[in-house]
A and B are shown apart, each in its own frame.
Chain A
Amino acid sequence: AQTVTQSQPEMSVQEAETVTLSCTYDTSESDYYLFWYKQPPSRQMILVIRQEAYKQQNATENRFSVNFQKAAKSFSLKISDSQLGDAAMYFCAYCMEYGNKLVFGAGTILRVKS
């Protein structure tokens, strides 16, 4: 069974600094998708960034970028120039190419200090 592990229950970062959230996953598949979702206090889930496993290039979205290491099954999220609005729970998620089973990690609470 596929599993997603986020080993950092909570992280803190100073405003304007950079922080990296860790995620590892376990799968025997070669084709799959990885996602980072943000859940602010409103509890609305918001997609932050997506990575297709067949793409070697790391995905970037403005201040958000990932470090995708397929062999190591690692998918970390880097947030640059952190802002107060980045404070939220962040979830790493995995979905294999076939089967539509979307699996989430336990989440990391990110606190941003002003």
Chain B
Amino acid sequence: DGGITQSPKYLFRKEGQNVTLSCEQNLNHDAMYWYRQDPGQGLRLIYYSQIVNDFQKGDIAEGYSVSREKKESFPLTVTSAQKNPTAFYLCASSRRQGMLSSNTEAFFGQGTRLTVV
């Protein structure tokens, strides 16, 4: 089955440590996204990538880093510079826009709950 997989589901990090969240998709999508969701709040865009080896900062990129070395993978690193990293993180993918076509919606993984201990 095609889909998007995030791992792990739960992650604990000590203060001052970097941690990497995994996101893999087999939908052959060009675009991938990382969002942060805080309790009772909406999704805020951290980083997004339209194509391999290219990515752009979203609205809250500070303290985060990403890479896009393969089409299928878009890992997110939460660095020690992120002051309040405890949150729910969602990864998504979609077809690349610019074609005025259907099937442009984003598909989401099941999320990773990151807690700083």
* Chain A positions near chain B (C-beta within 8 angstroms): 6, 31, 33, 35, 42-45, 47, 50, 52, 54, 91, 93, 95-107, 109
Q: Is the CB of A45 within 8 A of B92?
A: yes
Contact check: which of B42, B45, B88, B98 meets A102 at CB < 8 Å? B45
Question: In the complex the two chains form, is A104's CB within 8 Å of B104's CB?
Answer: no
5 A-B pairs whose Cβ atoms sit less than 8 Å apart in the complex:
A52-B102, A54-B100, A101-B56, A102-B92, A103-B45
Least CB distance, A7 to chain B, in whole angstroms: 13
Residues of B in contact with A (beta carbons under 8 Å apart): 31, 33, 35, 40-45, 48, 50, 56, 58, 88, 90, 92, 94, 96-98, 100, 102, 104-106, 108, 110-111
Alpha-carbon gap, A42 to B113, bound state (A): 12
Which of A35, A42, A50, A96 is in CB contact (< 8 Å) with B97?
A96
| Chain B residues positioned under 8 Å from A31 (CB to CB) | 100
Contacts of B31 in A (CB 8 A): 100
Q: A91-B43, A95-B94 are in contact. List 5 more A-B contacts (CB 8 A).
A: A33-B105, A45-B106, A98-B97, A102-B94, A103-B45
For A99, the chain B residues whose CB sits under 8 A away are: 50, 97
Chain A residues lying within 8 Å of B41, measured Cβ to Cβ, are 106-107
Check B98 against A35 for contact (C-beta < 8 Å).
no
- Select which of B58, B88, B92, B96 is within 8 A of A101 by beta carbon: B58
A90 CA to B80 CA, complexed, in Å: 32
Q: Which residue of A lies closest to B101 (CB)?
A: A52
Complex CA gap A6/B33 in Å reads 22
Contact B104 A107 (CB under 8 A): no
Could you tell me if B92 and A107 are in contact, using CB atoms closer than 8 angstroms? Answer: no
A54→B100 CA distance, assembly (Å): 9
Contact (A33, B104) CB under 8 Å given A44-B110, A97-B98, A101-B58: yes
Query: Cα distance A109–B39 when bound, in Å?
Result: 12
Q: What residues of chain B lie closer than 8 Å to A96, measured between beta carbons?
A: 97
Q: B33 and A52: CB pair below 8 A?
A: no
